[in-house]
Structure 1
């Protein structure tokens, strides 16, 4: 994608604070367009138990997330960081974190220069949080939006805290941020940071989903299939499309605001690579209960190899162990079980097929065809490392599937900063 004309930035840092990892990407602008110069990612390992929230709470330690961010920046070339003029930021959507007044961070001297650390902040309650039951959500005011309210959404979580933990009732509207245009400037860096000059412009926070799509979507006839921790199937709606005024809680497709007044139609499943991870964890636990110690990292490649040997499986797996936003109480199931198809290979093949079929049940192929989709851009960590999953994608979708245009929210955030200038 070519850079916009005019005297824009020449080096932009894109930062994505994801659900399981942090990524930083340096994108440079040349006469030929934009190019990824360097990138670095670090797993946050930030999951934290949620006291008093049973098994429904999903929280992360903010200090560990910031620590991973500082490690990413420390690993990037100082010489290129010194050329950064703008910073674009995206992060996992829908969650919420609280901090005390202006004491959300503190600066300390460490390594090559100053770095900030989280200070007097709550845990991050993520988009995966399940404490807001359907009964609780139905008690809340109807949103003045085409998007339905769901557990894990920041505002719903604030309502939950208001009812269960905070002293005062009602919604603290003053906590909500002002909404600005993508690419607009929120402020400037107050001091040098890992070599990034003081005064570098920082863009307003952007949704990681929109930035991910922005990094790879070039044609309106493309559908973007991303399978990472969760899974999404996305297309760009026609020019001038406007979503309905009221939400439809039963709809599996949501319309997300995109850039330049456009909208994305999104089937966002809560079940993706996390289901495969849960399956691997189950196999490891069974092995342990039988007296064997097998590392999960060794199990994954073996079950994929076993599934590659089984081209077909009559097993039918509905893999929705995490429910779906439009059906929060949905459970998983296995049917059509035959005695000859109980191997790990058969089960893994059926599980991978079920993940793709679940997305297609949310956004049917016929509907994609009616909207003019001509090809699918496949991306995401789970899809990249799982050949069986790719085979099932190519079997189920009647479109050419193109790999290699991986979605990258950090790169997308940087691209937005370039193109807004």
Structure 2
């Protein structure tokens, strides 16, 4: 079944010039490189991208990120720990997520910036999270939550630049993943980040298989 899903996903990418984006615990992006592209014989260990053999002698470009929905989970875990230290017990961390989204949606904009690479990345294992433009006026959940979501997308784009997508002929983004399923703020950041149509729905379920398949391959190499 998983192989069938992956094959369907590959067909979806090939036929529609789509980039597959999945944001669940981690995150993956994948798209077909133009005909004639040949990767280097020796992969660059410092490159955030990997290339896998594809149909008709072409290659699939993949960025497999360590930081995705787990960034929000880490943030929620920190909030829970802080409250516990103050003697407030939270029975279910899941009850915090809707409050974060509600606070973020009430805040129209934020100048707070977050680099959320708290888990490092495969090509930059020593990288850490950072914050900037911090002021007394942007430390509320309404500011921090969208800044985290924007940071996740900024990290994605830094690893797979928009210009590379456009040069490869990508015409739309096919998006899925559990983090996008519940996080409306993250979905909004996806749509802001890509100057292309973003598609959700049944097409996603099959298309995401190819990115996940390649991500599994990367994980086995670690």
**Could you state the TM-score of these two structures normalised by the residue count of structure 2?**
0.85
Return the match for 2:119 from 316, 319, 322: 322
Compared CA separation, residues 230 and 358, structure 1 to 2 (3 A): same
Is 1:224 equivalent to 2:20 in the alignment? Answer: yes
Contact 2:116 2:152 in 1 (8 A): yes
1:281-333 CA distance string (max 9 Å, x none) = 11111111111112201011111111111121111100001101110111111
Q: CA RMSD in A?
A: 2.3
1:118-138 CA distance string (max 9 Å, x none) = xxxxxxxxxxxxxxxxxxxxx
1:50-75 CA distance string (max 9 Å, x none) = xxxxxxxxxxxxxxxxxxxxxxxxxx
Structure showing the higher helix proportion among its residues? 2
1:99-155 CA distance string (max 9 Å, x none) = xxxxxxxxxxxxxxxxxxxxxxxxxxxxxxxxxxxxxxxxxxxxxxxxxxxxxxxxx
Higher relative contact order (CA 8 A, sep 6+): 2
Separation in 2, partners of 1:234, 1:311: 31
Is 1:248 equivalent to 2:44 in the alignment? Answer: yes
Compared CA separation, residues 211 and 291, structure 1 to 2 (3 A): farther
In structure 2, the residue matched to 1:70 is none
Separation in 1, partners of 2:68, 2:12: 20
Separation in 1, partners of 2:128, 2:8: 29
Separation in 1, partners of 2:184, 2:12: 21
Return the match for 2:204 from 395, 400, 406: 406
In structure 1, the residue matched to 2:218 is none
Compared CA separation, residues 211 and 381, structure 1 to 2 (3 A): farther
Contact 1:318 1:333 in 2 (8 A): yes
1:261-283 CA distance string (max 9 Å, x none) = 44211121110011111111111
In structure 2, the residue matched to 1:106 is none
What is the number of residues matched between the two proteins? 208
In structure 1, the residue matched to 2:217 is none
Compared CA separation, residues 211 and 324, structure 1 to 2 (3 A): farther
Separation in 2, partners of 1:260, 1:232: 23
Residue aligned with 2:147, SS: helix
Residue aligned with 1:376, SS: strand
Query: How far apart are residue 258 of structure 1 and its match?
Result: 3.5
In structure 1, the residue matched to 2:34 is 238
Residue aligned with 1:250, SS: coil
Query: How far apart are residue 241 of structure 1 and its match?
Result: 3.0
Greater Cα radius of gyration, structure 1 or 2: 1
Structure showing the higher strand proportion among its residues? 1
Separation in 1, partners of 2:116, 2:8: 25
Residue aligned with 2:173, SS: strand
In structure 2, the residue matched to 1:312 is 109
Contact 1:215 1:411 in 2 (8 A): no
Separation in 2, partners of 1:301, 1:264: 36
Compared CA separation, residues 290 and 216, structure 1 to 2 (3 A): farther
Residue aligned with 1:219, SS: helix
Q: Which runs of 5+ in 2 are unaligned?
A: 211-222
Q: Which runs of 5+ in 1 are unaligned?
A: 1-13, 16-87, 89-182, 184-207, 413-421
